[in-house]
Amino acid sequence: MTLQRKNGLRTLAVGSAVVSGALLLTACGSNGSSQPSRRSPTAASPATTGAGGVQCGKAATVSASGSTAQEFAMQFWIKNYMRACPGTRISYEGNGSGAGQTDFLEGRTAFAGSDSALSATQITRSKSVCANGGRAVHLPMLGGPIAISYNLPGVSKLVLDAPTLAKVFDSQITKWNDPAIAKLNPGTKLPSTPIQTSHRSDSSGTTDNFTSYLSAAAPSAWPYGHNKEWMAKGGRSARGSSGLAEQVKKTVGAIGYVELSYAIARNIPTVAIATGAPAPVYASVLTASKAIADAETAGTGDDLVLKLDYATKARGAYPIAMVTYEIVCDKGNKPATWSATQAFLTYIAGAKGQEDLSFQGYATLPATIVDKVRSKINNLS
């Protein structure tokens, strides 16, 4: 195990303990209650209490799909929720944010998980899926860092900045001992190994957030803007975060972008980002939480789309962060599954759903946003 890996795990464990406490505090909400307020149950959507006090909706089979970034969290949530509410079956396919959006907009799923917001055109399209004049809205549910993972034997610590990353992923820098990389890593013996970049082959919110960072923090070096589809030239592709992480792990000289949990699970070292702060920042629960805390609400009306500051220079704030949304209709959700879907969303946004997620590499959302999410879920129909 490398020194960086040991330190990374130690940092994650310490950060997790602190963040778990923050989660429990934010879970109480502004009214001091550990549970969000709820409307009175109706005959169409009877509320029952399951094991551990979890509120269960009307039994149903609920299908969802999308973000691979939240896949570990979904596995955790679904297992615990179905244990408490055994009459409901929930399935989640981690097929990427783009595919999840498509599944939802074509009416195949009750909700979508996505690391990027729907476009204005997609919002308009959602009106044909949501009944009673409804439209799709975004519920921010998780935050987390996108780690830059690499495979370079003999190099246990590596620092890069946005312009250098942009040039690496655009095939303008092709050797690990390039002067631009060496300048950021004085005293480190860098090999002349060719750089093997890896990017997602599927439509991905992780790609959208990573390219949003490059576009915001290094606009002169990254001419492609941001997109769920990979636009730059060169490099190798892999499907899903799991596939990309595996590709980096088995390829000497490789570098790629994955959610921190995938790098941790495979013991892949990660890059520290030079942001202009006093010291480079590693990806961790705490450093991503610090960046996400400055997020602003950018959605129209009461839609909870968040705007992140990818170019932050705040001390200890990791800039390549992301927020994962659950996308549902504000009204006109599928009647057969809505009671169970709403109960599940209420659970995952509540204290019981959020309390242990920091140990899986997820970061907290600001308390003000969490309160709004709980209120919004309660008023969906």
pLDDT single digits (tens) 20-56: 333 322 333 333 333 333 333 333 345 687 666 788 9
From 72, 62, 75, select the one nearest 240 (Cα to Cα).
72
In terms of domains, do 119 and 150 share one? no
First to last CA, the chain: 50
The CATH number given to whatever domain includes residue 65 is 3.40.190.10
Residues 173 and 92 in one domain: no
Instruction: Give the mean model confidence (pLDDT) for residues 237-253.
Output: 97
Count of beta carbons in the 10 Å neighbourhood of residue 49: 11
Instruction: Give residue 49's pLDDT.
Output: 75
Give the structural domain span for 132: 3-143+324-379
Statement to judge: residues 25 and 153 lie in one domain: no
Considering the domain boundaries, does residue 40 fall inside one?
A: yes
Mean pLDDT, the chain, integer: 87
Mean pLDDT across the stretch 320-327? 96
Q: Say if residue 105 is in the same domain as residue 154.
A: no
pLDDT of residue 326: 98
Q: Which of 248, 267, 290 is the last residue of a domain?
A: 290
CA nearest to 90, candidates 359, 350, 347, 266: 347
**Do residues 139 and 10 both lie within one domain?**
yes
Question: Do residues 88 and 28 share a domain?
Answer: yes
What is the pLDDT, as a whole number, of residue 225? 96
User: CA dihedral in degrees (120, 123, 128, 131; nearest 10)?
Assistant: -150
> What pLDDT is attached to residue 13?
36
| Amino acid 351: pLDDT | 83
Within a domain: 303: no
Q: What is the pLDDT of residue 83?
A: 93
User: Looking at the structure, do residues 264 and 164 belong to the same domain, yes or no?
Assistant: yes
Helix residue spans in the chain (DSSP H): 3-27, 71-84, 97-105, 120-126, 162-169, 179-184, 205-217, 240-250, 260-265, 285-292, 335-349, 351-354, 367-379
Q: Into how many domains does the chain fold?
A: 2
pLDDT of 24 reads 28
Residue at 301 is within a domain: no
Can you tell me the distance from the alpha carbon of 191 to that of 172, in angstroms, rounded to the nearest whole number? 17
The Cα–Cα gap between 228 and 69 comes to 14
pLDDT at 46: 56
Question: pLDDT digits over 125-163, tens only?
Answer: 999 999 999 999 999 999 999 999 999 999 999 999 999
CA distance 145 to 227: 18
**Same domain, yes or no, for 186 and 274?**
yes
- Is there a single domain that holds both residue 133 and residue 172? no
In a domain, 304, yes or no: no
CA distance 90 to 344: 9
Q: Residue 196: pLDDT band by 50, 70, 90 thresholds?
A: very high
pLDDT single digits (tens) 104-135: 999 999 999 999 999 999 999 999 999 999 99
Tokens of 26: 């934010």
* Residue 162 Cα to chain centre, angstroms: 20
138 domain-assigned = yes
The whole-angstrom separation of Cα 137 and Cα 172 is 39
Query: Residue 355: which pLDDT band, with cuts at 50, 70 and 90?
Result: confident
Q: Are residues 159 and 224 in the same domain?
A: yes
Q: Determine whether 205 is exposed, middle or buried from the number of CB atoms within 10 Å of its CB (0-12, 13-18, 19+).
A: buried
Domain boundary among 247, 271, 290: 290
Across 347-352, average pLDDT: 89
Kindly report, residue by residue over 73-110, the tens digit of the pLDDT. Answer: 999 999 999 999 999 999 999 999 999 999 999 999 99
Predicted pLDDT at 39: 39
The pLDDT score that the predictor gives to residue 349 is 93
- pLDDT tens per residue across span 268-277: 999 999 999 9
Question: Residue 262 CA to chain centroid, in angstroms?
Answer: 12
How does residue 368 score in pLDDT terms, banded at 50, 70 and 90?
confident
Say if residue 269 is in the same domain as residue 358. Answer: no
Q: What is the mean pLDDT of residues 348-368?
A: 81
pLDDT in tens, 201-220: 999 999 999 999 999 999 99
